[in-house]
A and B are shown apart, each in its own frame.
Chain A
Amino acid sequence: MTGNNLADYLTLGLLMFSIGAVGVIVRRNPVVIFMCIELMLNAVNLTFLAFARYMPSSAPASGREASFMSGQMMVIFVMAVAAAEVAVGLGIIMAIYRLRKDVDVDEMNLMSG
């Protein structure tokens, strides 16, 4: 279990982040675009955790424990913000759907003046 390398986790996070970025560019369905954003957030969470587990800190002032707890704290707050973001974003999609019966992101030009 502990024979893994830090680079393996970072590679998995990198692949997930890249696939999510491609999805945000390529897809036209806003719900799927939200899913891809969640994918990117999770890739970043994995990277935070991998660094918390494997990376020796170079900050001597805060101490050893603070350096590997801070990564986990960041993951917790990213999860909280992601939950709020999804709730508000899907609410916006619902409101747009009620307004125009169509949620194609390519056809949305309400704010382009």
Chain B
Amino acid sequence: MTTFTVLAIVAVLAALGVVLFSSPVRSAICLVVNFFVLAFVYFILNAELLGITQIIVYTGAIMVLFLFVIMLLNLGGPQAWKERREFRTVLGFGFGAALAGVIASQLITHFREHSRPFADDGYGSPQAIGRVLFTQYVWPFEVASVLLLVGIVGSILLAKRKL
């Protein structure tokens, strides 16, 4: 049993927990576990910078935002509403199983033979990413910064009671 197998099992269990727990706070904790484990999968893939970014951005910033909203809206208390058991639940799980089955049978079997890494070991280092990000991808980088600025302004505009 390799490290990857253990991490993958934990990640899938945590993902199931996000969907199956009825309390949003427990879902958020499961999501933290999933993102954290996924960062270690990135480390196994030798993408060090992205693994660390995953921990900082997702398990740090985004999950704090989620927990803040759960707390502010008071969704996490014992009076959290019951998820209705209805035909849509069955439909959703059936759809998910069908999606997984179709993709697994049609796509993943074609990639069985790729077991040798193609990229160099240092392809995920901060130096390599920085060199490409600030030369070849500098315009997408700037557009992403403008997008984040618009996101800040938009979320303040939406969430603020009175400007």
What is the interface of chain A, defined by CB distance below 8 A to chain B? 1-12, 14-23, 25-29, 31-32, 34-36, 38-39, 42, 45-46, 49-50, 52-57, 65-66, 68-69, 72-73, 75-77, 79-88, 90-95, 97-98, 103-104
Contact = CB atoms under 8 A, between A and B. Distances in A.
Given A27-B83, A32-B18, A35-B28, A4 B91 contact: no
A46 B38 contact: yes
14 contacts: A5-B115, A12-B12, A19-B18, A25-B95, A26-B89, A29-B75, A32-B18, A32-B27, A53-B46, A54-B119, A69-B132, A72-B129, A79-B53, A97-B73
B77 interface: no
The 8 closest A-B CB pairs, nearest first, are A84-B151, A91-B158, A25-B92, A22-B96, A91-B155, A68-B119, A6-B114, A23-B19
Interface of B: 2-4, 8, 11-12, 15-16, 18-19, 24, 27-28, 31, 34-35, 38, 41-42, 44-47, 50, 53-54, 57-58, 61-62, 65-66, 69-70, 72-73, 75, 81, 83-84, 88-89, 91-93, 95-97, 99-100, 103-104, 107-109, 111-112, 114-120, 123-124, 128-129, 132-133, 136-137, 140, 144, 147-148, 150-152, 154-159, 161
B87 to A, nearest CB: 11
Given A19-B15, A53-B117, A68 B58 contact: no
Nearest to A57: B118
Contact of B45 (A9, A14, A15, A56): A9
B118 A68 contact: yes
Contacts of A19: 12, 15-16, 18-19, 96
